[in-house]
Amino acid sequence: MRARSGVWAVMLSVLWSGAAWANPISMEVLRVRQLPSTTHVQLTWGVDGSTADTPLSSKRDGSEIQLAWTSMSGFTANTGSGLVKLSATQACDCDVAVGQHKYILKVKSAMGGKEMDYEGSITVEQGLTVPPDAGAPVGDLNPWEIPEPSQLQGLNCSSTCSTVVPNPDAGATVDAGSTKPNEDDGGCSVSGRGRAASAGLLLLLCLGLVAIRRR
């Protein structure tokens, strides 16, 4: 019995080591996702059990980029042991070129405060559509096999990346050929001034003619 017990102990040890090696559990994750119908990329840096600090730097394809990071709580991800809620910070990389890209975030790790680089790759597609809902998983799944939510979480890059800015100097314009009176109470139109001057000159000329006739 002792020999058999020893064999079982060794087998369990090997199985456990193999599962742990094939399924590492992470306390920190980087998620990179393209928003459908756009070429905007949403980046999420999530931390389990601590606050997700703003990354120290961000690079795309080796070149540093400036991103505006926004805090979010309750980001759902599978860190290797099933779905968990993470503290996260998110940013949008707007109008990214179609093709393959690699992002590198330099972060101050929540585990010991050491600076570390995390990588994430993505292939940006033109005309990406919303993926269909796969529904609830069928059958028994290992914890690390449970899929993450397919719906958008947190920052909406479609709104964040909007570049439509109203021009404060723009206002109502009047067609040059319009005969409608100027409705601007704050000033006078050039055409209105010109008509007033012409009317005044005509009146003076008429008065002058009258005076000449009286003489």
- Per-residue pLDDT, 174: 30
The pLDDT assigned to 79 comes to: 93
What class is the 23-130 domain? mainly beta
Place of tokens 């206002």: 171
Beta bridge partners of 36: none
Question: How confident is the model at residue 84, as a pLDDT?
Answer: 95
User: Which residue is listed with tokens 């998620």?
Assistant: 31
Q: What is the pLDDT, as a whole number, of residue 133?
A: 64
| 7 compared with 81, residue with greater pLDDT | 81
Confidence of residue 196 (pLDDT cuts 50, 70, 90): very low
In this structure, the number of other CB atoms found within 10 A of the CB of residue 105 comes to: 21
Mean pLDDT of the chain: 74
pLDDT for residue 136: 65
Segment 97-144, tens digit of pLDDT: 999 999 999 999 888 889 999 999 999 999 998 776 656 666 788 888
pLDDT band at 52 (very low <50, low <70, confident <90, very high): very high
* Percent residues over pLDDT 90 in the chain: 49
From CA 139, how far away is CA 145, in angstroms rounded?
A: 11
How far apart CA 78 and CA 84 sit, in angstroms, is: 6
Domain boundaries, the chain: 23-130
Identify the residue whose tokens are 């003076």: 204
Rounded Cα distance between 215 and 212, Å, is 5
The 8-class DSSP code of residue 171 comes to: -
Nearest to 29 by CA among 93, 101, 97, 116: 116
94 CB-contact burial (10 Å; exposed 0-12 / middle 13-18 / buried 19+): middle
Check whether 7 has a pLDDT greater than 50. Answer: no
pLDDT digits (tens, 9 = 90+) for 35-47: 999 999 999 999 9
Give yes or no for a contact between 96 and 103, defined as CB atoms under 8 angstroms apart. Answer: no
Its pTM stands at 0.64
